[in-house]
């Protein structure tokens, strides 16, 4: 099987690709690393020296060479879908192209957290960088056989999701990937909420305040029911507040 990972810079294609190749028992090729080895210098300096057209031509040639191998996982650069000859390779019948998709905020956080130099990132303001991300989203979507949402997932979780898909693909996989990411986001937000509950408990204990404050709780429920009246069933909002409130009270009482 020939698997190609595409997606914007910073979504984790190299890390996921390495884990995926290991899980499937296949060879891994990082196309950017292959280009750097081919030209004998880091990509940022080479990109600046020769310009994007020459870089894209070399990228296309090395991608075609990499696809001569069987049972390989290839992670590509974020701009691979900008070159028509590369898109033709991505659309080959013997190639399974997977788009690793993240929200722009996630991408920006990842890029800011690393010292790795991205040539195109240096050429853009935040606004124009966002525009580039938007433009490429459409191109990734047109090219990929599968889209995997990576937000709030670890590389290992993303890898497991892809392995499950290759073992038994369904038409629901892309949508389920998005739902899975949202579930993780919700649980992460709930964990953050409980951390704040612990801070509130400490403040209440220090100032001898009541754990249960019915007036505030009722007002909060009223505001949230009004805010989400058009998008969520009232019962769902009430059930959520009941669960979180009861959990918060138990945690606060345990600290007093």
CATH of the domain at 205: 1.20.59.10
Residues 153, 199, single domain; the answer is: no
Does 118 appear as a known binding residue? yes
Q: Where are the alpha helices (DSSP H) in the chain?
A: 13-24, 31-39, 43-50, 52-66, 84-90, 104-112, 119-122, 126-143, 155-167, 173-207, 214-227, 234-255
Does 11 appear as a known binding residue? yes
DSSP states along 75-107: E--TTGGGSHHHHHHHT-TTEEEEEEE--HHHH
pLDDT for position 47 = 87
Residues 158, 41, single domain; the answer is: yes
Query: Facing residues of 29 across strands?
Result: 74
Q: Kindly state whether residue 174 falls inside one of the protein's structural domains.
A: no
pLDDT confidence tier of residue 15, bands split at 50, 70 and 90: very high
Is the model's pLDDT at 223 over the cut of 70? yes
Residues 32, 96, single domain; the answer is: yes
Of 85, 79, 62, 91, the C-alpha closest to 2 is 91
pLDDT for position 252 = 77
Q: Across the chain, what does the average pLDDT equal?
A: 90
Q: Cα 209 from chain centroid? A: 42
Does 7 appear as a known binding residue? no
Is the model's pLDDT at 119 over the cut of 60? no
Percent of the chain surpassing pLDDT 70: 95
pLDDT for position 14 = 95
Residues 33, 68, single domain; the answer is: yes
Q: Who has greater pLDDT, 94 or 203?
A: 94
User: Domain span at residue 142?
Assistant: 2-169
pLDDT for position 58 = 96
Residues 42, 91, single domain; the answer is: yes
Does 17 appear as a known binding residue? no
């Amino acid at each position: 099987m020939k698997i190609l990972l595409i997606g914007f810079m910073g979504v984790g294609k190299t890390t996921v690709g390495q884990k995926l190749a290991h899980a499937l028992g296949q060879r891994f090729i990082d196309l950017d690393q292959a280009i750097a080895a081919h030209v004998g210098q880091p990509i940022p300096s080479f990109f600046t020296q020769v310009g994007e057209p020459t870089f894209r031509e070399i990228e296309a040639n090395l991608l075609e060479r990499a696809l001569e191998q069987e049972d390989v996982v290839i992670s590509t650069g974020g701009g691979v879908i900008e070159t028509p000859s590369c898109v033709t390779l991505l659309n080959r019948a013997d190639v399974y192209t997977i788009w690793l998709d993240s929200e722009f905020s996630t991408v920006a956080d990842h890029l800011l957290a690393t010292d790795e130099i991205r040539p195109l990132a240096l050429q853009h303001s935040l606004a124009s960088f966002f525009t580039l991300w938007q433009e490429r989203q459409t191109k990734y979507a047109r090219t990929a056989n599968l889209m995997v949402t990576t937000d709030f997932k670890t590389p290992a979780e993303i890898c497991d999701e892809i392995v499950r898909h290759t073992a038994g693909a369904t038409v629901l996989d892309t949508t389920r990937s998005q739902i899975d990411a949202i579930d993780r986001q919700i649980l992460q937000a709930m964990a953050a909420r409980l951390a704040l509950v612990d801070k509130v408990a400490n403040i209440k204990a220090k100032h001898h305040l009541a754990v249960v404050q019915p007036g505030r709780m009722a007002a909060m429920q009223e505001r949230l029911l009004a805010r989400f009246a058009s998008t969520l069933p009232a019962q769902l909002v009430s059930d959520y507040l009941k669960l979180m409130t009861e959990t918060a009270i138990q945690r606060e009482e345990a600290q007093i």
